[in-house]
């Protein structure tokens, strides 16, 4: 088959963006320009509104991929004498633990199997047992499997123990509701190129104002210092260092489209529909998803690899790519899997097409036996 369009990215960022989003990158902006700085201001405001956090939190954008923003949040908001508890049920949790080690923050982990959600009761017990823990760093949707951790319950347990919560909501923000009026958090971290469907290139941290205000001088990095970035932005409306101007303009457009679509409920409904089509369709093709439905977030789905002696992810990937769809490798250490993202501008027709493409490749694989 010859492709007449770019392949759809069934990957959890970068993902398929709309033509309108891509077209908004066709203009060059000066970083001092007041029109550009108005865009930055609008993005910051709207991101706070999406989390109902306008009165309580500040939005600090940061250049780079999502991990840069997670590292900046920990390096800025956790005091150097702080102690971070990281519940772990996947690779992104492990990445946070590694960030804590690299930054020299005291770290404790709470280890789970990759198909077990973090339990609020375990967090409450761990906090009660160790009064030196100051922060809990939680991954909301663990993208390495697609498992959903119960944010509201965990946030309540952390607040009840008088500790602070930092949430890596990278792959959930905008699609799964995070309401700062109901969920206490010191920081929620996400990025442009995930469920808000912008291009990758900037992260952002929604930080409780009081926590941010007392974080001056904590960061051991200049470029990753959120307090400094925030102060400078408040003072000048500009980014401290060169902003990813095209990404910022396209992210602004993506957020406008998000609001036009109906915000979080609409985005969630679209992804849930994608997820249903995907799981139903691939189950019909004889594949099995890794997680039970009750803990599956409608963001990305892990499937067991086809049980076939000739299967290799690389050739499977290439064959599905030739049909116009880009899959994502699995990230489990113990079983062979692959992943399919539900996010991005593809919708029902794109998802049905993806299921058909995988079905066709599976049929070829089985016929080759
Ligand atoms: C995408 C993602 C990140 C950030 O990854 P980058 O490669 O740095 O963009 C962090 N946490 C989660 C849960 C993610 O899905």
Q: Is the CB of 13 under 6 A from ligand 1?
A: yes
Select from 170, 192, 302 the residue to mutate for testing ligand 1; criterion: most ligand atoms less than 8 Å from CB: 170
Top-level class of domain 19-260: alpha beta
Q: Is the CB of 112 under 6 A from ligand 1?
A: no
Distance CA 256, CA 35 (A): 16
Q: What are phi and psi of 333, to 5 degrees?
A: -85, -25
Q: Is the CB of 171 under 6 A from ligand 1?
A: yes
- Position 347 scores a pLDDT of 79
CA count, 13 A, side-chain hemisphere, 108: 15
Point out the ligand 1 atom lying closest to the alpha carbon of residue 67. 8
The beta strand positions in 34-186, using DSSP E, are 57-63, 83-88, 106-111, 135-139, 141-142, 147-148, 164-168
- Position 88 scores a pLDDT of 98
Select from 64, 66, 224 the residue to mutate for testing ligand 1; criterion: most ligand atoms less than 8 Å from CB: 66
What DSSP string runs through 260-298?
HHTHHHHHHHHHHHHHHHHHHHHHHTT--BSS-GGGB-T
Mean of the per-residue pLDDT values of the chain: 96
Tens-digit pLDDT profile for residues 118-148:
999 999 999 999 999 999 999 999 999 999 9
Point out the ligand 1 atom lying closest to the alpha carbon of residue 171. 15
- Position 237 scores a pLDDT of 97
* 204 CA to centre of ligand 1 in angstroms: 12
Q: Which of 143-157, 208-222, 340-354 has the lowest mean pLDDT?
A: 340-354
Per-domain residue ranges of the chain = 8-15+264-367, 19-260
Average pLDDT, stretch 89-118?
A: 98
302 three-state secondary structure: strand
* 363 CA to centre of ligand 1 in angstroms: 33
Distance CA 204, CA 318 (A): 34
Q: Is the CB of 12 under 6 A from ligand 1?
A: yes
pLDDT surpasses 90 at 333: no
Tens-digit pLDDT profile for residues 175-214:
999 999 999 999 999 999 999 999 999 999 999 999 999 9
Q: Is the CB of 170 under 6 A from ligand 1?
A: yes
- Position 3 scores a pLDDT of 59
Q: Is the CB of 71 under 6 A from ligand 1?
A: no
* 65 CA to centre of ligand 1 in angstroms: 7
249 three-state secondary structure: helix
* 239 CA to centre of ligand 1 in angstroms: 22
If we measure between CA atoms, which residue out of 256, 253, 281 comes closest to residue 342?
Answer: 281
Q: Which residues pair with 106 in a beta bridge?
A: 83
* 92 CA to centre of ligand 1 in angstroms: 7
Point out the ligand 1 atom lying closest to the alpha carbon of residue 203. 9
Q: Whose CA is nearest to atom 2 of ligand 1?
A: 170
If we measure between CA atoms, which residue out of 131, 140, 123 comes closest to residue 106?
Answer: 131
Q: Which residues of 34-62 are buried (b: 16+ CB within 10 A; e: fewer)?
A: eebbebbeebbebbbebbbbbebbbbbbb
Q: Is the CB of 66 under 6 A from ligand 1?
A: yes
Q: How far is CA 107 from CA 81, 158, 207, 248, 313, in A?
A: 11, 16, 21, 34, 35
Tens-digit pLDDT profile for residues 241-269:
999 999 999 999 999 999 999 999 999 99
Average pLDDT, stretch 298-312?
A: 94
Q: Is the CB of 361 under 6 A from ligand 1?
A: no
| Burial of 336 (C-beta count, 10 Å sphere; 0-12/13-18/19+) | middle
Residues 6+ apart with CB under 8 A from 79: 134, 218
Q: How confident is the model at residue 369 (pLDDT cuts 50, 70, 90)?
A: low
Please say whether the structural domain 8-15+264-367 has been given the CATH code 3.40.50.2300.
no
Q: How confident is the model at residue 43 (pLDDT cuts 50, 70, 90)?
A: very high
Q: How confident is the model at residue 5 (pLDDT cuts 50, 70, 90)?
A: confident
Residues 6+ apart with CB under 8 A from 235: none
* 329 CA to centre of ligand 1 in angstroms: 15
Evaluate the omega torsion of the peptide bond into residue 42 and state whether it is cis, within 30 degrees of 0: no
Q: Is the CB of 172 under 6 A from ligand 1?
A: no
Point out the ligand 1 atom lying closest to the alpha carbon of residue 169. 13
* 186 CA to centre of ligand 1 in angstroms: 19
- Position 178 scores a pLDDT of 98
Q: How confident is the model at residue 159 (pLDDT cuts 50, 70, 90)?
A: very high
Q: Whose CA is nearest to atom 12 of ligand 1?
A: 170
Distance CA 158, CA 168 (A): 15
- Is the backbone of residue 90 left (phi > 0), alpha (psi -120 to 50) or beta? left
Q: Which residues of 134-163 are buried (b: 16+ CB within 10 A; e: fewer)?
A: bbbbbbbbbbbbbbbbbbebbbbbbeebeb
Average pLDDT, stretch 281-286?
A: 96
Distance CA 43, CA 37 (A): 10
| Burial of 246 (C-beta count, 10 Å sphere; 0-12/13-18/19+) | middle
């Amino acid at each position: 088959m010859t492709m007449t369009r770019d392949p759809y990215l069934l990957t959890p960022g970068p993902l398929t963006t709309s033509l309108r989003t891509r077209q908004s990158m066709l203009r060059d902006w000066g970083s001092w320009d007041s029109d550009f700085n108005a865009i930055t201001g609008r993005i910051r405001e709207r991101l706070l509104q999406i989390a109902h956090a306008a009165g309580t939190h500040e939005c600090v954008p940061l250049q780079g991929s999502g991990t840069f923003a997670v590292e900046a949040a920990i390096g800025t908001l956790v005091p150097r004498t702080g102690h971070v508890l990281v519940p772990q049920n996947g690779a992104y949790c492990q990445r946070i633990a590694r960030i804590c080690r690299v930054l020299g923050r005291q770290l404790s982990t709470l280890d789970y199997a990759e198909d077990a959600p973090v339990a609020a009761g375990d967090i409450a017990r761990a906090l009660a047992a160790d009064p030196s823990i100051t922060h809990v760093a939680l991954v909301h949707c663990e993208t390495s499997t697609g498992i959903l951790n119960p944010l509201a319950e965990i946030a309540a347990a952390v607040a009840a123990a008088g500790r602070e919560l930092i949430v890596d909501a990278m792959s959930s923000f905008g699609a799964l509701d995070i309401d700062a009026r109901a969920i206490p958090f010191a920081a929620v971290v996400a990025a442009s190129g995930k469920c808000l469907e912008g291009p990758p290139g900037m992260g952002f941290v929604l930080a409780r104002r009081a926590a941010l205000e007392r974080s001056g001088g904590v960061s051991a990095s200049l470029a990753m210092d959120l307090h400094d970035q925030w102060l400078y932005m408040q003072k000048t409306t500009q980014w401290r260092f060169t902003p990813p101007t095209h990404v910022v303009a396209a992210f602004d457009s993506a957020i406008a489209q998000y609001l036009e679509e109906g915000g979080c409920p609409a985005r969630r409904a679209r992804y849930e529909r994608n997820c249903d089509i995907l799981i139903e369709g691939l189950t019909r093709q004889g594949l099995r998803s890794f997680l039970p439905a009750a803990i599956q977030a409608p963001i990305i789905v892990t499937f067991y690899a086809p049980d076939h002696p000739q299967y290799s992810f690389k050739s499977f990937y290439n064959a599905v790519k030739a049909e116009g769809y880009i899959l994502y490798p699995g990230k489990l250490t113990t079983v062979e899997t692959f992943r399919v993202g539900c996010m991005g501008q593809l919708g029902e027709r794109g998802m049905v097409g993806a299921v058909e493409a995988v079905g066709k490749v599976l049929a070829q694989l089985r016929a080759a036996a």
